[in-house]
């Protein structure tokens, strides 16, 4: 629902009055809470709500869930570029579902209303015969000319002559500019010239069994499991192999640039073993069995034996390399102007060796150009490479020096020409490469020593490692949107404790031209809620900073101790503590029930140093818990109202594994956990994810770290949640934990949701999670919803 301004103010007054007097504190009280001290054995009394107070907190949280998100406006700009790419317009959604429109000309440094909204609304209303309140005009597309506007309202297009505001219906202009596909997909880069290439990726091209040569004269294809070539215009198909079978077919064909050679593979296909689930609430009187292929750790993979097929002799020649048994058929990079050589990349199963291989097609031999080995793991999905055929160079992003950086390689020799970036900070993405200017545009974090090392900033640098230009300044998390000609960009930045700011800047030197918008948070401030607070404490080594955030109830009594609940996700594939502003979130909503809710990135997660990340190697059960526990203890040391004697934890997927593991491996600290669709045993989950971190072959460490194997250790209060139709993590992962707990005689709660996929349980599951924590951390019975107690 949305409350108009007068009703919103009345709602806030009623909401505050409904809370106990001791809980009514102004936002300023929170800021002075750190002045509360304890001496000797003095400990603050527990916050112990009555059941009536908890019911009021439930009601407040439910109202805030629907209202608070509508108290913050102007949090982002989506530019709509005009023909020529020099100007753009954007719109802001304001209170009461009203709109405003702005036109920006970066070259002139101007920002002005795109039109007279009242005159336009009146003219459109007259032309259409439909009521159009000025504040409610919702324009989805528009071209702004010197003497006219062409705009779209709903499905209708109108042309508006200026300055008289006469209107006639029209059709969409041929030059209509809609948001580019890369912007719709959330990308933040623009490509302005043919010398500039987009984000660096690996293995981006899919293969087909049929392949047309570059000169379009020949077609290669697979027939009866063997390789054939036929003139594209038609004619006799010539067989190049005869020993292909269903069990060992040939396939994955690719032509050389000159059409004299085919590269293909003799394949040993492996059909993934099946996993199953039953839709118990399907139509009819019987549940439906659903099955699908699902490779798990240790399962065999399809393998590929590389062959060359020369048009001259029509004979297959096996390339002198090992069979490729991981990662599929590789993408081939042909040497520019030379069809004799191509390179390809391969990562060995087990993720401890990455290579760039070169094949000489004349000799059918291969050699290693680049080899990276690790005693722990190489994060295969985050290796970035881009090949520059004109200069025979490779841009390579790797962690081989302990931090994720950019290197420039000689493609012919494989030798490192230069480490382009270096230092105790990390490359987050390579946005684009300008081959003419020999510049690399990238995102990085950690370069600025006096701020959160996870904040993303934008830069460009020369191939020679010189002329670093910083495009973002503010101590915040950034996202850039460039104009199509890349001469200007919009810098949108914020922090969890700082609402968004949007600036227009010049690309050449990063100079700020104007501030476009700053978020309107006046309505949010009126709720009495506070922004999350960033908190930093030392990790297990006593040196490394561990970053997290905490959420407090909107109104709380800092002279009492509140239970802590951690929202956990310790998946090694990323870092997960929010860095940008959000008007409202589940942790804040949960905090309204009288909890301090925290999120922490412990060791073993990504986007810090390689050593920080390596903690997860064959060690997923660690989940950064030693760092998380120290962080919460340090939090309680600063804020005595954070009660480390009552700690809950919840998470989903890998977070579900972590939440249950908190009770099994750290029962002296965690007291209650809600574990949703957890990958509780890394042998039961996806091969590609689990072998990346737990290694191959599957060893006893898989068993030792399993929540199933360790279920008998349960001491705290546990709720397991699973969707019966989970196609990400097989539901049996959770059912096997339940089975082990039952066999060990343990008490626990179990919630299986019919028809639901990979989820935290949805609205019902989240409601039960709240009830669970209220009961086990506050000691208060949850609401009786069957008798409409709420």
Q: What is the pLDDT of residue 179?
A: 44
Percent of the chain with pLDDT over 90: 83
The band of 319, judged by pLDDT with boundaries at 50, 70 and 90, is very high
Q: Which residues contact 492 (CB under 8 A, 6 or more apart)?
A: 76, 77, 478, 479, 480, 481, 500, 501, 502
408 closest CA partner among 341, 462, 372, 344: 462
Nearest C-alpha neighbor of 413 from the set 369, 463, 447, 347: 369
For residue 405, which of 429, 394, 421 has the smallest C-alpha distance? 421
Tell me which DSSP letter residue 330 carries. Answer: P
- pLDDT at residue 458 greater than cutoff 60: yes
441: β partners: 432, 460
Which residues have a Cβ under 8 Å from the Cβ of 427 and sit 6 or more positions away?
397, 404, 405, 406, 421, 442, 443, 444
| Main-chain phi, psi angles of 142, to 5 degrees | -160, 140
pLDDT in tens, 346-380: 999 999 999 999 999 999 999 999 999 999 999 99
- What count of residues does the chain have? 790
- Over residues 551-566, the mean pLDDT reads 95
In the predicted model, is pLDDT for residue 35 greater than 50? Answer: no
pLDDT at 203: 44
pLDDT at 174 over 90: no
Q: Is 375 exposed, middle or buried (0-12, 13-18, 19+ CB in 10 A)?
A: exposed
Return the pLDDT at 324. Answer: 96
Angle value at C-alpha 100, between 95 and 106, nearest 5 degrees: 135
CA 603 to chain centre: 19
CA distance 172 to 154: 12
Residue 5 has pLDDT above 60, yes or no: no
Other beta carbons within 10 Å of 1: 7
Distance CA 216, CA 695 (A): 44
Kindly give, in sequence order, each residue whose CB lies less than 8 Å from that of residue 449, ignoring residues fewer than 6 positions away.
Answer: none
pLDDT beyond 50 at 18: no
Structure tokens given for 595: 């909890």
Using one digit for the tens of pLDDT, what is the confidence trace for 242-285? 999 999 999 999 999 999 999 999 999 999 999 999 999 888 89
pLDDT higher than threshold 70 for residue 98: yes
Tens-digit pLDDT profile for residues 62-94 = 999 889 988 999 999 999 999 888 899 999 999
HEC profile of 258-296: CCCEEEEEEEECCCCCEEEEEECCCCCCCCEEEEEECCC
Could you give the strand order of the β-sheet that contains 156-161, starting from the edge strand earlier in sequence? 139-144, 148-153, 156-161, 166-170
Q: What values do phi and psi take at 278, rounded to 5? A: -115, 125
The model's confidence at residue 136, banded by pLDDT at 50, 70 and 90, is: very high
**Looking at residue 201, what is its pLDDT?**
55
Name the residue among 585, 589, 713, 606 with its Cα closest to residue 654. Answer: 606
| 14 pLDDT higher than 60 | no
In the prediction, which pLDDT does 198 show? 58
Q: Please write the tens of the pLDDT for every residue from 495-524.
A: 999 999 999 999 999 999 999 999 999 999
Rounded-to-integer distance, Cα 125 and Cα 613, Å: 60
531, 584 Cβ separation under 8 angstroms: no
Edge-first strand listing for the sheet containing 457-462: 196-197, 426-434, 439-445, 457-462, 469-470
Q: How far is CA 26 from CA 29, 49, 416, 534, 556, in A?
A: 5, 20, 59, 20, 9
Q: State how beta strands 88-94 and 80-81 pair.
A: antiparallel
pLDDT at position 195: 57
Residue ranges covered by each domain of the chain: 5-23+44-70+524-781, 80-178, 204-268+301-378
What is the rounded average pLDDT for all residues in the chain? Answer: 91
Quick one: pLDDT at residue 39? 44
- pLDDT of 1 > 50? The answer is no
Q: What is the pLDDT of residue 196?
A: 60
Per-residue pLDDT at 175 exceeds 80: no
Query: Across residues 754-781, what is the average pLDDT?
Result: 97
Q: SS3 for 588-611, per residue?
A: HHHHCCCCEEEEEECCCCCCCCHH
Q: What band does 9 get if pLDDT is binned at 50, 70 and 90? A: very low
Classify 507 as helix, strand or coil: coil
- Rounded CA-CA distance 728/43 in Å is 45
Joined together, the tokens standing for residue 621 give 């059960």
Exposure string (b/e) for 22-52, b if CB count within 10 Å is 16 or more? ebebeeeebeebeeeeeeeeeebeebebeee
The pLDDT value recorded for residue 283 is 81
Mean pLDDT, range 520-530, rounded to an integer: 90
Q: Could you give the CA distance from residue 257 to residue 264 in angstroms, rounded to a whole number?
A: 15
Whether pLDDT at 204 is above 50: no
Give every CB contact of residue 672 below 8 A, 6+ residues apart in sequence: 647, 648, 649, 663, 716, 717, 718, 772, 773, 776, 777
Fold match between domain 5-23+44-70+524-781 and domain 204-268+301-378? no
Q: To which residue do tokens 């949850």 refer?
A: 782
Q: Across residues 25-50, what is the average pLDDT?
A: 57
- The CATH code for residues 204-268+301-378 is 2.130.10.10
Spatial distance between the Cα atoms of 435 and 123, rounded to a whole number of angstroms? 50
Mean pLDDT over 751-776 rounds to 97
Closest CA to 210 of 202, 220, 218, 201: 220
Per DSSP, the three-state class of 518 is strand
Q: What is the pLDDT of residue 200?
A: 56
pLDDT in tens, 153-162: 999 999 999 9
Band (pLDDT 50/70/90 cuts) for residue 648 is very high
- pLDDT reported for residue 604: 98
- Bridge partners of residue 73, in order along the sequence: 520
Kindly give the pairing relationship between strand 642-652 and strand 672-676.
Answer: parallel
**408: its two tokens:** 């420039």
CATH number of 5-23+44-70+524-781: 3.40.50.1820
DSSP symbols for 442-482: EEEES-STTS-TT--EEEEEETTS---EE---SSSEEEEEE
Dihedral angle at the C-alpha atoms of 392, 395, 401, 403, nearest 10 degrees?
180
Q: 324-348 pLDDT, tens per residue? A: 999 999 999 998 877 899 999 999 9
* Residue 141 binned pLDDT confidence (cut-offs 50, 70, 90): very high
Beta pairing, strands 672-676 & 477-482: unpaired
């Amino acid at each position: 629902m949305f409350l108009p301004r007068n009703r919103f103010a009345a709602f806030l007054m009623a909401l505050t009055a409904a809370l106990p007097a001791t809980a009514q504190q102004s936002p300023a009280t929170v800021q002075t809470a750190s002045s509360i001290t304890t001496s000797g054995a003095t400990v603050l009394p527990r916050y112990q709500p009555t059941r009536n107070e908890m019911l009021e907190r439930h009601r407040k949280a439910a109202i805030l869930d629907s209202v608070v998100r509508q108290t913050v406006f102007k949090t982002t700009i989506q530019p709509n570029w005009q023909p020529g790419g020099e100007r753009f317009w954007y719109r802001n959604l304001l209170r009461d579902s009203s709109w405003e429109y702005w036109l920006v000309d970066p070259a002139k440094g101007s920002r002005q209303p795109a039109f007279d909204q009242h005159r336009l609304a009146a003219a459109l209303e007259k032309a259409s015969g439909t009521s159009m309140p000025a504040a409610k005009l919702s324009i989805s597309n528009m071209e702004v000319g010197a003497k006219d506007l062409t705009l779209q309202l709903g499905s209708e297009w109108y042309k508006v002559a200026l300055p008289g505001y006469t209107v006639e219906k029209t059709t969409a202009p041929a030059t209509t500019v809609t948001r580019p596909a890369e912007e719709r997909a959330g990308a933040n880069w623009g490509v302005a010239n043919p010398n500039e290439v987009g984000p660096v990726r690996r293995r981006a091209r899919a293969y087909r069994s049929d392949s047309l040569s570059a000169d379009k004269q020949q077609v290669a294809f697979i027939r009866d499991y063997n390789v054939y070539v036929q003139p594209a215009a038609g004619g006799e198909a010539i067989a190049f192999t005869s020993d292909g079978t269903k069990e060992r077919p040939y396939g994955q064909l690719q032509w050389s640039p000159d059409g004299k050679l085919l590269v293909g593979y003799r394949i040993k296909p492996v059909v993934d073993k099946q996993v199953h689930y039953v839709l118990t609430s399907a139509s009819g009187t019987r549940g439906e069995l659903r099955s699908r292929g699902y490779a798990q750790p240790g399962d065999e993979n399809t393998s590929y034996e590389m062959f060359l097929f020369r048009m001259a002799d029509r004979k297959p020649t096996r390339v002198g390399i090992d069979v490729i048994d991981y990662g599929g058929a590789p993408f081939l990079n042909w040497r520019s102007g030379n069809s004799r050589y191509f390179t390809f990349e391969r990562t060995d199963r087990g993720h401890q060796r990455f290579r760039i291989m070169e094949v000489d097609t004349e000799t059918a031999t291969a050699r290693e150009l680049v080899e990276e080995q690790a005693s722990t793991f190489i994060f295969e999905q985050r290796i970035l490479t881009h090949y520059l055929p004109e200069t025979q160079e490779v841009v390579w992003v790797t962690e081989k020096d302990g931090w994720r950086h950019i290197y420039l390689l000689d493609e012919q020799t494989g030798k490192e020409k230069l480490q382009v970036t270096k230092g105790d900070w990390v490359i987050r993405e390579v946005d684009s490469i300008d081959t003419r200017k020999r510049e690399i545009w990238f995102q990085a974090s950690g370069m600025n020593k006096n701020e959160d090392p996870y904040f993303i900033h934008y830069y460009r640098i020369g191939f020679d490692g010189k002329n670093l230009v910083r495009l973002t300044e503010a101590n915040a998390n950034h996202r850039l949107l460039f104009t199509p000609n890349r001469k200007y960009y919009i810098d949108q930045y914020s922090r969890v404790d700082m609402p968004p700011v949007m600036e227009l800047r010049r690309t050449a030197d990063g100079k700020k031209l104007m501030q476009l918008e700053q978020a309107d948070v006046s309505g949010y401030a009126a709720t009495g809620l506070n922004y999350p607070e960033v908190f930093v404490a030392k990790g297990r080594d006593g040196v490394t900073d561990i970053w997290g955030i905490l959420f407090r109830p909107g109104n709380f009594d800092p002279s009492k101790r509140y239970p802590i609940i951690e929202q956990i996700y310790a998946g090694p594939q990323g870092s997960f503590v929010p860095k940008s502003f959000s008007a409202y979130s589940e942790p804040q909503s949960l905090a309204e029930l009288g909890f301090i809710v925290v999120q922490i990135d412990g060791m073993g997660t990504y986007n810090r140093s390689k050593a920080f990340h390596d903690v997860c190697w064959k060690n997923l059960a660690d989940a950064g818990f030693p760092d998380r526990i120290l962080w919460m203890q340090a939090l309680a040391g600063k804020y005595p109202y954070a009660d480390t004697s009552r700690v809950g934890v919840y998470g989903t997927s890998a977070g579900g594994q972590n939440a249950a593991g908190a009770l099994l491996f750290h029962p002296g600290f965690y007291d209650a956990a809600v574990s949703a669709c957890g990958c509780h045993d890394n042998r039961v989950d996806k091969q590609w994810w689990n072998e990346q971190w737990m290694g191959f072959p599957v060893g006893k460490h898989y068993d030792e770290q399993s929540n199933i194997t360790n279920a008998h250790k349960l001491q705290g209060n546990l709720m397991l949640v699973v969707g019966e139709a989970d196609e990400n993590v097989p539901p049996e992962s959770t059912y096997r934990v339940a089975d082990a707990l039952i066999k060990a005689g343990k008490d626990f709660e179990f919630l299986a949701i019919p028809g639901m996929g990979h989820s935290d349980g949805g609205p019902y599951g989240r409601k039960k999670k709240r009830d669970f924590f209220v009961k086990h951390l506050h000691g208060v019975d949850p609401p009786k919803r069957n008798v409409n107690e709420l």
